[in-house]
Amino acid sequence: MKAATEYLWFETDTKRAYINITDEVERIVADSDVREGMVLVSAMHITAGVYVNDAERGIIQDIDEWLEQLAPFRPDYHHHRTGETNADAHLKSLLIHHEVIVPITDGRLDLGPWQQVYYAEFDGRRRKRVIVKVMGE
């Protein structure tokens, strides 16, 4: 079995951001020489996430608005008593989740026709990373 690991680093200008990382994950898979296997893509921070969805116009705004409805920023979270102000970012991360596993077939990501891999940032403006771990034959 082969394995390869790379890290992607992000520092967004905004508190929330959604970044298509499909091309970077594809490059890492190609560089790994794994033909059949899987790739784990995982945010290594508790206020960020990774997900698979469409790159169609409007869907990112819909996702952002949905997350804000379910976990809105507000001052009365218990977590804020610690001096932090990012409780909503922790909750948004739970909703999106922190990782995805994508199959590799014939040396390429085996995604559906419109599927893309995204990094979701919910407490930005500081440096964060994502691990990309390729495993297979």
Kind and range of the H or E run holding 9: strand 2-10
Residues of the chain with pLDDT under 70: none
CA angle 116/124/5 to nearest 5° reads 50
Delineate the domains of the chain, giving CATH numbers in brackets: 2-136 (2.60.120.460)
> 27-56 pLDDT, tens per residue?
999 999 999 999 999 999 999 999 999 998
For residue 50, the surrounding DSSP H or E stretch is strand 48-54
54/130 Cα distance (integer angstroms) = 20
- pLDDT value, residue 31: 98
Show the tokens assigned to 36.
């059949």
The pLDDT assigned to 19 comes to 97
How much is the pLDDT for 46? 96
